[in-house]
Amino acid sequence: PKSKWLQFYVKQFNTVELNNSFYHLPSEKAFATWRESAPENFVFAVKVSRFITHIKRLKNLGSAVENFLSRARLLQDKLGPLLYQLPPNMKRNAEVLGSFLSSLPQKYQHVFEFRHESWLDDSIFHILQQYNAGLCVFDMPGFTCPLVATSDFAYIRFHGSASLYSSCYSNEELSQWAQKIARLGEKVKAVYIYFNNDAEAFAVKNALTLTKFISIA
């Protein structure tokens, strides 16, 4: 049953990415329950509301960010990175990014997934570095994202290699990624890795396999 999913999950993994927060803001009770249900040292990454990233596009936000953070911080010591996934039709705008970053509380880990290739530029990486904000490295069909660390943590998302959200990574692919991740891990304090290819439980299978490969890389 769904009520037992988290209980099972935390026995296998030490972090999860909350995606429902992208579509609607979970209740205070939901965040509190997640925190209480997870063991010590478990980390929740939280995907930030699409109202902030897709509708307002990081501008003229009013109290939207604070409203979101007021819920997310209920995870307390189990709150990990805050993921800002920008829409694929939002092109590079260094001024908007810089202004937005300057408005964010620096005590949190902020990470950005850029779905338009124009953002993948050294000038943008430099802005992220100024604020210790992360570049989300992600793998998906038809898109090449550089394996770059712009903060003291790394954040990697696997969306599927052959087909978006619904393909299983081969052992060979995961072994190659494990080598890359091991090298990246030498430059940062922590690496957060999430699989989003959740059709037919591919994500769970691939995550367990990658964990094994990283341990021997």
Instruction: Give the pLDDT band (50/70/90) at residue 201.
Output: confident
| Assigned fold of 2-211 | TIM Barrel (3.20.20)
* Per-residue model confidence (pLDDT) at position 30: 96
Q: Which long-range contacts (CB under 8 A, 24 or more apart) does 207-212 make?
A: 207/13, 208/12, 209/169, 209/171, 209/174, 210/169, 210/174, 210/177, 210/178, 210/181
* Per-residue model confidence (pLDDT) at position 217: 80
Phi, psi of 169 (to 5 degrees): -75, 140
Residues 6+ apart with CB under 8 A from 194: 15, 16, 17, 45, 156, 157, 158
Q: How many helices (H) and strands (E) does the chain have?
A: 9, 7
Mean pLDDT of all residues belonging to the chain: 95
Instruction: Give the pLDDT band (50/70/90) at residue 6.
Output: confident
What's the full length of the chain, in residues? 217
* Per-residue model confidence (pLDDT) at position 107: 97
Q: How many CA atoms lie within 13 A of 36 on its CB side?
A: 6
